[in-house]
Amino acid sequence: MSGKKPVAAPVKATPKSSYNGPVVVDPVTRIEGHLRIEVEVENGVVADVRSSSQLFRGLEIILKGRDPRDAQHFTQRSCGVCTYTHALASTRCVDNAVGVKIPKNATLIRNLVLAAQFMHDHIVHFYHLHALDWVNVANVLNADPKKAASLSNSLNENRKESAADFAAVKDTVKALIESGQLGPFTNAYFLREGGHDAYYLPAEADLMATKHYLDALKLQVKAARLMAVFGAKNPHTQFTVVGGVTCYEAMTEARLKEFTDLYAETSAFVRNFYIPDLLAVASFYKDWAGIGKTTNFNACGEFPEDEYDLNSRFLPQGTILNNDISKVYDFDPTQIEEHVKYSWYEYGSPKHPYAGETKPKYTKLGDKEHYSWMKAPRLDGKSTEVGPLAQVLVAFARGHKPVVDAVNYVLKYLNVGPEALFSTLGRTAARGIETLVIANQTQVWLDEFKANIASGDKEIYTEWEMPDEAQGVGFVNAPRGTLSHWIDIKKGKISNFQLVVPSTWNLGPRDDSGVMGPVEEALMGTPIFDPMRPVEILRTVHSYDPCIACGVHVIDSKTGQTRKFRIL
Amino acid sequence: MKFSVSHGGDKVEERLAKAGVSRRDFMKLCGTVAAVMGMGPAFAPKVAEALTSKRRPSVVWLHNAECTGCSESILRGMNPPFAELILGVISLDYHETIMAAAGEMAEKALHEATHSEHGYVCVVEGAIPTAEDGIYGKVAGRTMLDYNTEYVNKAAAVIAYGTCATYGGVQAAAPNPTKAVGVREITDKPVINISGCPPNPYNLLGTVVHFLQNGIPELDGEGRPVMFFGDSVHDKCPRQKFYDEDKFAESFGDEGARKGYCLLHVGCKGPYTYNNCPTVKFNQTNWPVEAGHPCIGCSEPNFWDAMAPFYEEA
């Protein structure tokens, strides 16, 4: 990660217009799923926001009455971007319900595949879903390839890029523009006639980022393969089962070597490209350290040693309130409730996931009182953000050394204080920090796995019996944040299944008290330069890496009692 | 509507090279596609010719009730990366997951692509919710039902990619709360079904190549190209020899599971599922049965109901 700091201009004043009126972004692209953002702009600044999910699928209704073992396959289809995370949450949830203790190898294999998912997901997010909010591809035509090469190589000692490499990318962009068929870049905001003032990068930095956008497209194929080596395929892994995993092949020399080599290549890309690029781009956009602030955070932690003990996770669980990182509280899932006042459901008072009752009731688009298929989850009544920023803040507040070191490095590089973390820029930086810390730790898990096999332990599955009645919960701190699956088994079948999903926490609507969800809160006060091309809205929305298909659920259960579960 | 294709236009290689696609990588990809199509290596140049028309064919990709796994399969699953070829081979004019523009500017791109004299291929991902006139899914304020009907009917060719777009998929599993359906239910146009959850991306590329050269390939009773979906998973499974020898895993922890025996007794649906997973594999490396997990039958119509419970022998 070592490298020279680029000389950045002083912090810019974020440009804004004098526009007054509504701005609607629908579809929000470069996300998973269907999201509509409606804002009201006053004198060029966002004064009101509604985050509106546009799809309802009804997975929980579909799950009722089915075999609990099958839940993971259904829930994994919540999302093919954060694939595996739901399969893991459901499997942990049923493991918990039936009370099976899985072998050490199974935990390690599940962790290794999840680590690969984090690396893949966050690399793709930064380069392919988020970068075009900050990088002006058209500006590449004004870049000097030689200067781009020296800029890039100055950022990291392991980079050996030549002027010819950058000239070739410049030619690619030129050919694409001249062909008149711009494909995915058609009507991009940065193509605005007269330029788009909200894009600040020097041409050489734009060229560098564009080249790495293309390089990352190739690299992510390998990161996905890394998951498939043990997990069968990506998207939609097929190797977890209640009681462990099925991939005996993972313990063969050939598969271990394949995993080791792909991991080396993927983690090197994280260290040598993703993180230095993130910091270089961030250093030009430091004004965004003051935009996109939210208040409360929760994380359930991830990468367990003991699947049932939230406190055995490598990244710790916790809750941060009122932007105060001097205190960190335990994450208490008994305090989760979901509100529906502003959603397209018949009204009911806030309920814990085990005890809700909901009926879809659509009104219309543009209704300010009912405007989303998502519900509004709250923790102890508070709107809390989940995801990389929440996980990094919790770990930082708990003094988790790898996270503390990475955060301090980033703050020093950008010459900002910890308060800068509470922003769109901080959220995007935290995603990189999380990736780096996980990428480094993966080596430890891989070595542990190899040592365990070498010691003669070849167990990956524990036999178990399906009880007649049981309840269970599974937590995954997914790349997008806190994910929990809740099951109630009666007569050996699913009587109720609930998903409380990261994007619902982050992108859900107002609650019963009218308090906004995190993305709504974060968008307030954002300056807008061009209401036809509101890239500023995309920056903050994309900083959450939304996954809308996950977030859309309906609770359709009989009122039950909140069960006491042993997780802390 | 006419769809313009002129094979092997001028300076194709130069253009591909400019788009960052090396000839070696490109021919490697064409060789893979030829193999998946069941042709010999000599067919690779024919594939190359089909994929290098003078004007890159326009592709409009619609997202409905889905999880984006199908889009991801294309991005993650091909080597050399198909994503690279987006710049040199096709013109991906509308695709919500990767396009730069959003909101009104994205809608404008869709309008331009679907009103171009050159025509477009429409790839559909996801099922279309039809209950209550389609209110359960909207894009840009229009129901998916309305939006798909228009753009599917205008297209030069329609490919339903993935089990949701072909047969309704997971949201159509009983009781199908949103009355989600596959593309064939909303149009009279011929639709090529490439099923799978997700499908194998080579099956899409092979279909496109066939379409560009010889029109719609031969389809089976479920609308799937026979060249990819002609054999059952069981027919091509490397574990079939154990089936023949009566050697089965009876649990995921027994000796049979450790030795890689047939998974029929722990729920494998390979005998009832038509796809080329065992030969083409996923991510160039693996597929469920090789990872010790039974096939769940994901490329069959109504598999969420017909193939479940997944861990019980059918």
- Report pLDDT digits (tens) over B129-158: 999 999 999 999 999 999 999 999 999 999
Cβ-based burial of B5 (10 A; exposed 0-12, middle 13-18, buried ≥19): middle
What is the Cα–Cα distance from B205 to B246, expressed in whole angstroms? 38
Active site residue A82: yes
- Which residues, numbered 76 to 135 in chain B, qualify as contacts with chain A under a Cβ-Cβ cut-off of 8 Å? 76-81, 83-84, 86-87, 90-93, 95-109, 112-113, 129, 132, 135
CA distances from A214 to A128, A370, A378, B86, B87 (A): 9, 41, 40, 11, 10
Assigned token pair, A509: 């609507």
For residue A21, give the DSSP letter. Answer: E
Q: Is B75 part of the contact surface with chain A (CB cutoff 8 Å)?
A: yes
CA distances from B149 to A142, B122, B145, B194, B310 (A): 43, 11, 6, 19, 34
Highest mean pLDDT among A52-56, A61-65, A128-132, B75-79: A128-132
Q: Which residues pair with A299 in a beta bridge?
A: A318
What is the Cα–Cα distance from A162 to B248, expressed in whole angstroms? 56
- Report the predicted TM-score, pTM, of the whole model to 2 decimal places: 0.95
Nearest to A103 by CA among A244, A288, A299: A244
Please compute the mean of the pLDDT values over residues B210-217 and round it to a whole number. Answer: 89
Active site residue A86: yes
Assigned token pair, B163: 């089990």
- Which residues, numbered 432 to 461 in chain A, qualify as contacts with chain B under a Cβ-Cβ cut-off of 8 Å? 458-459, 461
Active site residue: A480, A510, A542, A553, which one?
A480
Nearest to A99 by CA among A471, A499, A484, A492: A471
Q: Could you give the angle at the alpha carbon of A305 between the alpha carbons of A299 and A311, nearest 5°? A: 40
Q: What pLDDT is stored for residue B88 in this prediction?
A: 76
Instruction: For residue A233, give every residue at least 6 positions away whose Cβ sits within 8 Å of its Cβ, in sequence order, or none.
Output: B282, B283, B286, B287, B288
B178: nearest CA partner in chain A: A57
What is the Cα–Cα distance from A80 to B295, expressed in whole angstroms? 18
Q: What pLDDT is stored for residue B6 in this prediction?
A: 38
Nearest to B123 by CA among B185, B76, B74, B55: B74
Question: pLDDT of A126-181, one tens digit each?
Answer: 999 999 999 999 999 999 999 999 999 999 999 999 999 999 999 989 988 888 99
Contact indicator for A531, A330 with CB cutoff of 8 Å: no
Q: What pLDDT is stored for residue B21 in this prediction?
A: 74
**Res. A386: pLDDT tops 60:** yes
Alpha helices in B189-299 (DSSP H): 201-214, 226-229, 233-236, 240-244, 255-258, 277-280
Q: Which residues pair with A372 in a beta bridge?
A: A343
The answer to whether B77 contacts A234, with C-beta atoms less than 8 Å apart, is yes
Residue type, A431: R
% chain A with pLDDT above 90: 85
Of B80, B98, B257, the CB nearest to A30: B98
- Which residues, numbered 196 to 225 in chain B, qualify as contacts with chain A under a Cβ-Cβ cut-off of 8 Å? 197-198
The answer to whether B102 contacts A538, with C-beta atoms less than 8 Å apart, is yes
For residue A140, give the DSSP letter. Answer: G
% chain B with pLDDT above 70: 93
Residue type, B184: R
Please compute the mean of the pLDDT values over residues B34-48 and round it to a whole number. Answer: 86
- Which residues, numbered 460 to 519 in chain A, qualify as contacts with chain B under a Cβ-Cβ cut-off of 8 Å? 461-463
The answer to whether A57 contacts B178, with C-beta atoms less than 8 Å apart, is yes
Task: State chain A's maximal CA–CA distance in angstroms.
Answer: 70
Please compute the mean of the pLDDT values over residues A278-296 and round it to a whole number. Answer: 97
Nearest to A479 by CA among A558, A526, A527, A545: A545
**Res. B84: pLDDT tops 50:** yes
Q: Which residue has the tokens 């993130």?
A: A278
Mutating which of B55, B76, B112, B239 best tests the A interface, going by the most A Cβ atoms within 10 A?
B76
Q: What pLDDT is stored for residue A6 in this prediction?
A: 52
Please compute the mean of the pLDDT values over residues B223-247 and round it to a whole number. Answer: 98
Q: What pLDDT is stored for residue A554 in this prediction?
A: 40
Q: What pLDDT is stored for residue A5 in this prediction?
A: 58
Contact indicator for A64, A556 with CB cutoff of 8 Å: yes
Q: What pLDDT is stored for residue A560 in this prediction?
A: 31
**Res. B3: pLDDT tops 70:** no
Active site residue A547: yes
**Res. A292: pLDDT tops 80:** yes
Q: What pLDDT is stored for residue A224 in this prediction?
A: 97
SS3 category, A50:
strand
- Which residues, numbered 531 to 550 in chain A, qualify as contacts with chain B under a Cβ-Cβ cut-off of 8 Å? 532-534, 538, 549
The answer to whether B100 contacts A189, with C-beta atoms less than 8 Å apart, is yes
Contact indicator for B137, B98 with CB cutoff of 8 Å: no
- Per-residue pLDDT band at A552 (split at 50, 70, 90): low
Q: What pLDDT is stored for residue A70 in this prediction?
A: 98
Phi, psi torsion values for A25, nearest 5 degrees: -110, 110
The answer to whether B309 contacts A70, with C-beta atoms less than 8 Å apart, is yes
Least reliable range by pLDDT among A166-175, B176-185, B297-306: A166-175
What is the Cα–Cα distance from A479 to A477, expressed in whole angstroms? 7
The answer to whether B286 contacts A55, with C-beta atoms less than 8 Å apart, is no
**Res. A72: pLDDT tops 80:** yes
- Distance from CA of residue A562 to its chain's centroid? 29
Active site residue A480: yes
Active site residue: A503, A510, A533, A553, which one?
A503
Least reliable range by pLDDT among A388-402, B67-81, B287-301: B67-81
Helix, strand, coil shares of chain A as percentages rounded to 5?
Answer: 45, 15, 40
- Per-residue pLDDT band at B104 (split at 50, 70, 90): very high
Q: What pLDDT is stored for residue A562 in this prediction?
A: 32
Phi, psi torsion values for A198, nearest 5 degrees: -80, -5
Q: What pLDDT is stored for residue B22 in this prediction?
A: 77
Per DSSP, which regions of A459-546 are E strands? 469-478, 481-490, 493-500
Residue type, A279: L
Assigned token pair, A289: 């350290």
Region class of A9: left (phi > 0), else alpha (psi between -120 and 50), else beta: beta
Assigned token pair, A41: 């702009």
Instruction: For residue A253, give every residue at least 6 positions away whose Cβ sits within 8 Å of its Cβ, in sequence order, or none.
Output: none
SS3 category, A483:
strand
What is the Cα–Cα distance from A513 to A506, expressed in whole angstroms? 17
**Res. A85: pLDDT tops 60:** yes
CA distances from B13 to A178, B47, B202 (A): 16, 14, 22
Question: pLDDT of A402-458, one tens digit each?
Answer: 999 999 999 999 999 999 999 999 999 999 999 999 999 999 999 999 999 999 999
Instruction: For residue A447, give every residue at least 6 positions away whose Cβ sits within 8 Å of its Cβ, in sequence order, or none.
Output: none
Give me the sign of the Cα torsion angle A548, A549, A552, A558: negative
Mutating which of A83, A86, A246 best tests the B interface, going by the most B Cβ atoms within 10 A?
A246
Q: What pLDDT is stored for residue B2 in this prediction?
A: 37
Nearest to A223 by CA among A127, A87, A92, A106: A127
- Per-residue pLDDT band at B249 (split at 50, 70, 90): very high
Q: Which residues pair with A474 in a beta bridge?
A: A485
Contact indicator for B70, A80 with CB cutoff of 8 Å: yes
Question: pLDDT of B107-118, one tens digit each?
Answer: 999 999 999 999
Residue type, B311: Y
Please state, as a whole number, how many other Cβ atoms lie within 10 Å of the Cβ of residue B67.
34
